[in-house]
Amino acid sequence: MGADGRQRIDKWLFFARVVKSRSLAARLAQAGRVRVNRNKIDQAAHQVRPGDVLTITLDRRILVYRILAPGERRGPADEARLLYEDLTPPARPGSAEPPALRPLREPGAGRPTKKDRRALDRWRGEE
């Protein structure tokens, strides 16, 4: 950590428990999925400081955090929450994602049973 409270973005993401490892944090930054004060970054060594606003794109979520402090270590979740203020807007009630399609049986559970085969035939309309 620098004298003025600056820290590498990959270290900060790791310490704040946004990702599970520092190498994942570096890949996230290099992929351009992190914005600092609305500017897209592409280096894991980009320096951030308290007051910066991060916009992080993870799988199906967008996180907006204001940095409150640089991290010293990757501690427990309660300690990590003190590093940022969550500015992420709440999800709209009508914009719920559709439920995932569940397979008829678990993958790798062996051959289909006669019951499974009949259910597949009904689903295909081949009764």
- 13-66: pLDDT as tens digits: 999 999 999 999 999 999 999 999 999 999 999 999 999 999 999 988 899 999
**DSSP secondary structure letter of residue 28:** H
* CB 25, CB 19: distance < 8 Å: yes
Q: The domain 7-91 belongs to what CATH superfamily? A: RNA-binding S4 domain (3.10.290.10)
Residue 27: per-residue pLDDT: 95
What pTM does this model have?
0.71
Task: For the chain, count helices (H), then strands (E).
Answer: 4, 7
Residues linked to residue 48 through DSSP beta bridges, in sequence order: 7
pLDDT tens readout for residues 63-76: 999 999 999 999 99
| Sign of the C-alpha dihedral computed for residues 101, 102, 108 and 111 taken in this order | negative
Tokens (6 digits) for 49: 């400081």
End-to-end CA distance of the chain: 68
Q: Where are the domains of the chain?
A: 7-91
Report phi then psi at 117, rounded to 5: -65, -40
Instruction: Return the structure tokens found at 75.
Output: 């501690």
